[in-house]
């Protein structure tokens, strides 16, 4: 598409916005439920498309549609109650005789810009609460993976739904045009592009949500269940070939158990099947989606090795044997430290660096030594201790004895700190994110004038002054003192 095409798309959505917003929330829910059924009916087709675009293993290609179906069911239950006009309790004497209402009005057009690692899931996960809020939605998927999202958006039309969901395909110019024309922007992607989106949104004085990169840490305490911790670390680092903003990208293990942990992890990583499985469940880790990403992962591993780290499995030797396939071999690094880019910069690949610590405070300091703050994981047999440590981590979410668990808990918000973004997605109040609150105050028994209106005079001033002290004071002397 061209920038002019984007303008035409947004113009059409803006024309449809008033009628969609005017529908009772229950009617919007019914449309989303019909769309849920379409997604379920076409799930095999969408999975084939996802695998074709991304190279995901067949098992992972099936994960995105059920996630969106769950989101439709969850937010669909909440929408009618949350979007109902609410009567707000009056506060203070000045509100006597007045009714106070709170309305939620949707942004007319929401723009959603998403990356290539979860094309369908990340696009529709934000589109669902936005549509339920009453907004119209334009999705700009990555130019690397446009087809599955385009097919899913056509499904909205196929159920006969109002023309309030569109797709804008193209590169950076299309994304820029979308930011320049919508009323709210939700961006998921790199920190560098996120900054550009935020600057442009600020120039236009429109709000934006940014879900950016991560460098998630796992802390394994000496009392942890090492078998479960190792399984979690391997899946957390290698799922989707490590191409997740919430991938486990660095592990800090207590010195007393690190040797046992590394042995367990090395065996499990070494058993992973790599390649392209073509709908056969025969692969665990697929190829990286782009050659640029392959180069980034290779450079980080080589940087670590040049500074004294050691690859106990995987690494550049194995990578050289498989480079043409785009599969970077799942790699475990030991002897790492924070001078290495694999411990500082987002990897977005199947690399698991493991570093030792001696005391809890050291682990917390290491985990917090990052410009990112998306999520983290702690493994310990002592839940109370883990919770105390979790409160000291500078991240938006912490999983205890688990990995990615917060992503599947739609009732809790997902957001980051630092370079991991601004705002949140998911959470019980996700629908409100795409709405603007409107306060309506009505005087039920209007007089000709009010004490605070003109004309000013000594008597009115004294009365207003006395009322202010009676309302604000919390002891007799201050209420009565002149």
Cis peptide bond prior to 355, omega within 30° of 0:
no
Sheet of 98-106: strands edge to edge?
86-87, 98-106, 435-443
- The radius of gyration of the chain's CA atoms, rounded to the nearest angstrom, is 27
Cis status of the peptide bond prior to 455, with omega within 30 of 0: yes
C-alpha–C-alpha distance, residues 442 and 440, integer Å: 7
**Contact assessment for residue 302 and residue 311, using Cβ atoms and an 8 Å cutoff:** no
| C-alpha closest to that of 234 among 218, 257, 223, 255 | 218
Type and span of the H or E element at 250: strand 248-254
Closest CA to 84 of 29, 25, 135, 131: 25
CA distance between the termini of the chain: 70
- Please answer whether residues 329 and 266 qualify as being in contact, where contact means their C-beta atoms are separated by less than 8 angstroms: no
Distance CA 57, CA 150 (A): 21
Of 334, 332, 420, nearest to 370 (Cα)? 420
Judged by DSSP in three states, 267 sits in helix
% helix, strand, coil for the chain, step of 5:
50, 20, 35
Is the four-CA dihedral 237, 243, 244, 245 of positive or negative sign?
positive
Q: Hey, which residues does 239 pair with through a beta bridge? A: none
Within 13 A of 318's CA, how many CA atoms are on the CB side?
A: 16
- Active-site position among 53, 60, 64, 211: 211
Buried/exposed 424-459: b ≥16 CB within 10 Å, e otherwise: bbbbeebbbbbbeeeeeeeeeeeeeeeeeeeeeeee
β 248-254/351-357 pair status: parallel
**3-class SS of residue 446:** coil
Written as six digits, the tokens of 99 are 């009714």
Contact status, residue 384 vs residue 364, Cβ threshold 8 Å: no
Cα–Cα distance measured from residue 396 to residue 377, given in angstroms and rounded to the nearest whole number: 11
Active site annotation includes 4: no
Distant-in-sequence, close-in-space partners of 477: CB < 8 Å, separation ≥ 6: none
The residues that are catalytic are 211
């Amino acid at each position: 598409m061209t920038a002019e095409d984007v303008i035409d798309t947004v113009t059409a959505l803006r024309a449809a916005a008033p009628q969609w917003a005017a529908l009772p929330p229950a009617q919007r829910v019914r449309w989303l439920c019909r769309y849920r059924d379409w997604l379920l009916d076409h799930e095999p087709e969408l999975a084939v498309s996802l695998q074709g675009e991304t190279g995901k293993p067949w098992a992972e290609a099936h994960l995105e549609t059920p996630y969106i179906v769950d989101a439709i069911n969850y937010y669909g239950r909440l929408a009618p109650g949350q979007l109902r006009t609410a009567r707000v309790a009056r506060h203070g004497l000045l509100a006597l005789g007045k009714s106070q209402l709170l309305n939620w009005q949707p942004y007319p057009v929401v723009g959603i810009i998403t990356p290539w690692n979860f094309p369908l899931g990340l696009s529709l996960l934000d589109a669902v609460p936005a549509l339920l809020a009453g907004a119209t939605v334009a999705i700009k998927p990555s130019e690397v993976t446009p087809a599955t999202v385009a097919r899913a958006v056509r499904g909205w039309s196929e159920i006969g739904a109002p023309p309030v969901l569109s797709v804008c395909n193209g590169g950076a110019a299309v994304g820029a045009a979308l930011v320049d024309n919508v009323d709210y922007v939700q961006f998921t992607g790199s920190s560098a592009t996120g900054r550009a989106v935020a600057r442009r949104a600020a120039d236009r004085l429109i709000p934006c949500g940014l879900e950016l990169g991560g460098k998630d840490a796992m802390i394994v305490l000496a009392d942890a269940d090492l078998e479960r911790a190792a399984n979690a670390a391997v899946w957390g680092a290698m799922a989707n070939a490590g191409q997740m903003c919430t991938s486990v990208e660095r592990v800090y293990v207590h010195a007393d158990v690190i040797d046992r942990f590394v042995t367990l992890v090395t065996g499990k990583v070494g058993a992973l099947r790599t390649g392209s499985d073509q709908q056969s469940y025969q692969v665990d880790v697929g190829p990286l989606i782009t050659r640029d990403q392959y180069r980034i992962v290779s450079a980080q591993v080589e940087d670590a090795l040049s500074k004294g780290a050691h690859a106990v499995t995987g690494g550049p030797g194995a990578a050289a044997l498989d480079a043409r396939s785009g599969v970077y071999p799942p790699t475990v690094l030991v002897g790492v430290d924070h001078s290495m880019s694999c411990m500082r910069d987002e990897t977005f690949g199947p690399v698991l660096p493991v570093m030792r610590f001696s005391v809890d405070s050291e682990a917390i300091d290491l985990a917090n030594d990052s410009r990112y703050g998306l999520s983290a994981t702690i493994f310990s047999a002592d839940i109370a201790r883990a919770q105390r440590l979790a409160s000291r981590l500078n991240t938006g979410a912490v999983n205890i004895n688990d990995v990615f668990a917060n992503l599947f808990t739609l009732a809790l918000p997902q957001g980051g700190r630092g370079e991991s973004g601004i705002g949140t997605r998911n959470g019980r109040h996700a629908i409100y994110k795409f709405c603007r609150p409107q306060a309506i105050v009505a005087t039920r028994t209007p007089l000709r004038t009010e004490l605070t209106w003109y004309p000013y005079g000594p008597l009115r001033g004294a009365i207003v002054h006395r009322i202010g002290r009676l309302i604000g004071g919390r002891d007799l002397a201050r209420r009565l003192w002149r």
